Amino acid sequence: MTVDASRPGPVLNSEMYGAFFEDLNHAADGGLYAELVQNRSFEFDPIDNEDYHSLTAWSLVTRGGGIASIHTAQENPLSPNNPTYVVLDVTTPGTGAGLMNHGFNTGIAVQEGERYHFTFYCRCDDNGSRPVQIRLESQTEDLFAEALITVESGDWVQYKAVLTSSGTDTAARLVLLTTGTGRLHMDMVSLFPEKTFNERPGGLRKDIARLIAELKPGFMRFPGGCLVHDGSLDPEARNSMYRWKNTIGDVASRPSRRNNWSYNQSMGLGYYEYFQFCEDIGAAPLPVLPAAYNPHHGLEEPLDQLGPWIDDALDLIEFANGTTDTVWGAKRAELGHPEPFGLQYIAIGNEEVRQGYFDRYPYFQNAIREKHPEIKVICSSGPQPQGEDYETGWNYSRQFQADLVDEHYYALPSWFLSNWHRYDDFDRSGPKVFVGEYASWGNKFYNALAEAAYMTGLERNADVVKLTCYAPMLANIDYVNWRPNLIWFNNHQAFGSVNYYVQQMFSLNKGDVVLHSELALNPPSNEHTATEESIRGRIGVGTFRTSVKYMDFTISDNLAGTTYFSDSFQNHSLLWKIREGDWIAAAGGYVQSSTDLADCRSTVSADVSNHYTISVKG
Ligand code: AHR
């Protein structure tokens, strides 16, 4: 393949390869958000999940003859937004009576020598004084750490302790025990590792955040997905659509929310944290706001009552970018970030294609354009890559002159391979393309390879395809709503799929400009001519080296002969990493890397040699 540097094509958007965060698969609580206590505010409710109740993940503990009970109540709450708390009634303390939290997955993961920050709010109903022992224990009651707190107020007071674990365990418990009799009320029982991403107190899990950061995403789309619009129109309902104003400020006063993926969201990871994380990893923030329309349940705000929804969008822009003498800019400063976050994009709606959405979208776009012409507004084209709904979405987006159109597709690898030229003939004059969700159905080599092949087509059309992100990004292996996913984790480990390393390879090796290229095969073949046409189609065979900025090389090996790649590669899934400087060979859906080009010189059997695409990154 010869790359002709004198014939530059489209310039790539520096933010082209991004990330998509949605709190499904317990991506936030039990995932990126480093809180170790599950149901810390006792707000779990059957409305979130029919198996939930306010004491989910908690149990009563009585030791040495203790007699006690726990229940939840709502009188005189810590915050009206967080109305439920636990009541501990101790009749006979024995050697200790109280409650324990079971954490996520197998429990709470603790490591020897690491520090953990415990906080809770507590009050005694009789203004008395009570000792409360905070313990990290194994399931067999081996003690890893303890601290003693004395509660001595009838008002809600926050108490803190630092626990240093003497052991390593992936199934530890947080245990709160008192040796006093009477009643205690507790809420917001929280435990965070001291080591969070960028050492932020109450921050993000280091290993997961690092994997995201190592993608070097140009942008991050958040907070969803269907999670944004699947809810009620009432911002105060616990099953409301995702309203960003509910997600900032003191975590004890953030209303937790029914997440449409059948669980409860603490909202500890909220808009301020999203913006901060984007800044930390150098990603442009790309928030998605509901369009006052719920396509899942046909709910729509009357057109003459869209005001508060549009204000949410305008206020969000002010929250992100406004000077500190604006209402929302001042709020951002009060939360600790006087400098603006540099918001450039905003998406209104997710995957909607119904009339109810298109009736509402222009109100948002017009208001945003009028007040903030610098912000790029993103419209939706629905969940299908083609068809009538899709055409409708694009027609409306063109009519509205949206800046970008959010396309989503989840499809078989064959779809990705045969749609490699999807954007070649796209209208260049209308809105640009934002591929806001895509994945082939699987986390195997072949899926990743199909995605890689497809991405070369996205890149070749970088004049019209401006932003792209794989979806979904995160999944806790014990709470799976959706698969495949880019990054998998449990309560103490996180790893990237093979698809992750494809995304990373493209992101880290992104060039500035697409160069004209031609393929020459030896021996020459009618089927394998070095024309543009012959390199369209599916990925067949090629070698390329990662991290080479500009390439000019020719594949000159004799391709006839034995098959280099064995079938075993096909079933190999996950955790295969292309390293910087490797030579990569791809053949008929199989891929191999080596630090030595000679290892990668491949021969291809007849059945996989019908189409050739050289996938060049650099
Ligand atoms: O990425 C998972 C889901 O797929 C998203 O929530 C939704 O937008 C799409 O249907």
Residues 417-457: tens digit of each pLDDT: 888 889 999 999 999 999 999 999 999 888 999 999 899 88
CA distances for 512 relative to 202, 500, 524, angstroms: 38, 22, 32
pLDDT score at 264? 97
Residues 374-433: tens digit of each pLDDT: 999 999 999 888 888 899 999 999 999 999 999 999 998 888 888 888 999 999 999 999
pLDDT score at 222? 98
pTM here? Answer: 0.85
Is the pLDDT reported for residue 576 higher than 90? no
What percent of the chain has pLDDT above 90? Answer: 74
Rounded to the nearest whole angstrom, what is the distance from the C-alpha of residue 401 to the centroid of ligand 1?
A: 25
Structure confidence at residue 521 as a pLDDT band (50, 70, 90): low
Same domain, 243 and 311: yes
Residue 364 structure tokens: 């948002």
We report the CATH number of the domain holding residue 78 as 2.60.120.260
ipTM: 0.99
pLDDT score at 327? 98
Residues 589-599: tens digit of each pLDDT: 344 444 444 44
Averaged pLDDT for residues 43-61: 97
Q: Is residue 507 part of a domain?
A: no
Structure confidence at residue 613 as a pLDDT band (50, 70, 90): very low
pLDDT score at 519? 65
Same domain, 288 and 358: yes
Rounded to the nearest whole angstrom, what is the distance from the C-alpha of residue 454 to the centroid of ligand 1?
A: 20
Same domain, 81 and 123: yes
Ligand 1 first shell, C-beta below 6 A = 22, 224-226, 350-351, 383, 408, 437, 471-472, 482
Rounded to the nearest whole angstrom, what is the distance from the C-alpha of residue 438 to the centroid of ligand 1?
A: 9
Is the pLDDT reported for residue 188 higher than 50? yes
Distance CA 505, CA 579 (A): 8
Residue among 26, 384, 482 whose CB has most ligand 1 atoms within 8 A, to mutate: 482
pLDDT score at 151? 95
Is the pLDDT reported for residue 275 higher than 50? yes
Q: Is residue 473 part of a domain?
A: no
Averaged pLDDT for residues 17-38: 98
Structure confidence at residue 458 as a pLDDT band (50, 70, 90): very high
Rounded to the nearest whole angstrom, what is the distance from the C-alpha of residue 223 to the centroid of ligand 1?
A: 11
**Burial label, 240 (beta-carbon count in 10 A; 0-12, 13-18, 19+):** middle
Q: Which residue's CA is minimally distant from atom 5 of ligand 1? A: 225
Residues 250-265: tens digit of each pLDDT: 999 999 999 999 999 9
Residue among 265, 353, 437 whose CB has most ligand 1 atoms within 8 A, to mutate: 437
Same domain, 342 and 387: yes
The residues assigned a catalytic role are 351
Is the pLDDT reported for residue 533 higher than 70? no
What is the number of structural domains in the chain? 3
Number of the ligand 1 atom closest to the C-alpha atom of 226? 6
Q: Which residue's CA is minimally distant from atom 8 of ligand 1? A: 225
Residue 34 · residue 196 · CB < 8 Å: yes
Averaged pLDDT for residues 159-178: 98
Q: Burial letters for 292-312: b for 16+ Cβ neighbours within 10 Å, e otherwise?
A: bbbbeeebbbeeeebeebbeb
Distance CA 344, CA 372 (A): 10
Q: Is residue 407 part of a domain?
A: yes
Residue among 221, 265, 351 whose CB has most ligand 1 atoms within 8 A, to mutate: 351
Same domain, 418 and 323: yes
Is the pLDDT reported for residue 555 higher than 70? no
Query: What does the DSSP 8-state code read for residue 54?
Result: T
Rounded to the nearest whole angstrom, what is the distance from the C-alpha of residue 225 to the centroid of ligand 1?
A: 5
Rounded to the nearest whole angstrom, what is the distance from the C-alpha of residue 472 to the centroid of ligand 1?
A: 7
Domain that holds residue 106: 58-193
Rounded to the nearest whole angstrom, what is the distance from the C-alpha of residue 350 to the centroid of ligand 1?
A: 8
Q: Which residue's CA is minimally distant from atom 6 of ligand 1? A: 225
Same domain, 462 and 400: yes
Q: Is residue 497 part of a domain?
A: no
Q: Is residue 502 part of a domain?
A: no
pLDDT score at 445? 86
Same domain, 220 and 189: no
Is the pLDDT reported for residue 566 higher than 60? no
pLDDT score at 520? 64
Closest CA to 269 of 260, 261, 277: 277
Residues 199-247: tens digit of each pLDDT: 999 999 999 999 999 999 999 999 999 999 999 999 999 999 999 999 9
Is the pLDDT reported for residue 572 higher than 70? no
Q: Which residue's CA is minimally distant from atom 2 of ligand 1? A: 472
Same domain, 443 and 530: no
Q: Is residue 567 part of a domain?
A: yes
Q: Is residue 41 part of a domain?
A: no
Residue 393 · residue 320 · CB < 8 Å: no
Structure confidence at residue 20 as a pLDDT band (50, 70, 90): very high
Is the pLDDT reported for residue 6 higher than 90? no
Going by their DSSP bridges, the two strands 284-289 and 345-348 should be labelled as parallel
Q: Which residue's CA is minimally distant from atom 7 of ligand 1? A: 225
Residue among 22, 289, 353, 409 whose CB has most ligand 1 atoms within 8 A, to mutate: 22
Same domain, 307 and 262: yes
E strand or H helix at 175: strand 169-178
Number of the ligand 1 atom closest to the C-alpha atom of 410? 4
pLDDT score at 50? 94
Chain-wide mean pLDDT for the chain?
86
Determine the straight-line distance between the first and last CA of the chain, rounded to whole angstroms.
Answer: 14
CB neighbours of residue 489 within 10 Å: 25
Is the pLDDT reported for residue 36 higher than 90? yes
- Of 126-130, 139-143, 452-456, 463-467, give the lowest mean pLDDT range: 126-130
Going by their DSSP bridges, the two strands 157-164 and 115-124 should be labelled as antiparallel
Number of the ligand 1 atom closest to the C-alpha atom of 383? 10
pLDDT score at 3? 79
Same domain, 93 and 138: yes
The three-class DSSP label of residue 32 is: coil
Q: Which residue's CA is minimally distant from atom 4 of ligand 1? A: 225
We report the CATH number of the domain holding residue 253 as 3.20.20.80
Q: Is residue 18 part of a domain?
A: no
Rounded to the nearest whole angstrom, what is the distance from the C-alpha of residue 534 to the centroid of ligand 1?
A: 35
pLDDT score at 7? 84
pLDDT score at 536? 28
pLDDT score at 588? 40
Range list of H helices, 339-428? 355-371, 388-400, 413-418
Number of the ligand 1 atom closest to the C-alpha atom of 351? 8
Question: In whole angstroms, what separates CA 213 from the centre of its chain?
Answer: 12
Q: Which residue's CA is minimally distant from atom 1 of ligand 1? A: 472
Same domain, 554 and 588: yes
Is the pLDDT reported for residue 508 higher than 60? yes
Query: What does the DSSP 8-state code read for residue 395?
Result: H
Same domain, 566 and 429: no
